[in-house]
Amino acid sequence: MKRLLLCMWIWVLLALMESGRSMGCFEEERNALLNIKAAFNHPNGSSLRSWRDDDGNCCGWESVRCDNTTSRVIHLDLRNKRDWESGLTWPLVIDTSLFLPLDELQLLDLTGNFLSDLNGTLHLKKLKRLYLAGNWLERVPSLYKQTSADAQNLSSYQLEGVNLEVLDLSLNKLVNDALMDITRITSLKALDISFCELNASKLLKGTSVAMLSFITF
């Protein structure tokens, strides 16, 4: 009897652990991807056709890569995914909250989608590689969720909780103060700001960014 109860308890625990998944894909992440698709296709685009509401396994969708062990989304490659032939409105403003359920994301590529703004805070603690080249961005999206305690210590040099290592901002329309927060990311190893018409040498002078292994102006 005790063995039967133990087996039943183990089964319940396993069922609870799997309750957030839908056929190898977490339901919250699948819904987030569908919302991202809707934003990219607004109002009448047709890209990302494999992202279907009737397919529960988002780990098998194009441009999506999941961790083999946890089934969490870790790579999202959305390079040039907007379907211009469908007459989409552009440039596009994307709300960063769409990506926040993907909190295990390590790589996000939004290159070449004519984005004019990423509205909000893209605070993903696991994010290491962010590609934003070939858009119409004037500023870098906020990568840091500021608390009231942080607001009292704005002189703090390092942005805690930001682990970004690679940032590609090339071919954008960045304004001169766009790199203010970037200079405080001490984990950054590679930065590309080529063809942004910035006086990068002056902007980055005296900061830790000068120690990057790779900088393109």
User: Taking residues 173-188, what's their average pLDDT?
Assistant: 82
Question: What confidence tens digit (pLDDT) does each residue in 80-128 have?
Answer: 998 766 656 678 899 999 999 999 999 999 999 989 999 999 999 999 9
Q: Which band of pLDDT confidence, cut at 50, 70 and 90, is reported for residue 176?
A: confident
The total number of structural domains that make up the chain: 1
Question: What confidence tens digit (pLDDT) does each residue in 32-82 have?
Answer: 999 999 999 888 888 899 999 999 899 999 999 999 999 999 999 999 998
| Any domain includes 149 | yes
| Any domain includes 1 | no
* Torsion angles phi and psi, residue 97, rounded to 5: -60, -20
Percentages of the chain per state (helix, strand, coil), in multiples of 5? 25, 15, 55
Q: Which pLDDT value is given to residue 72?
A: 97
Residue that is written with structure tokens 């690679």 in the block: 166
The two structure tokens encoding residue 85: 């032939």
Range of the domain at 80: 67-216
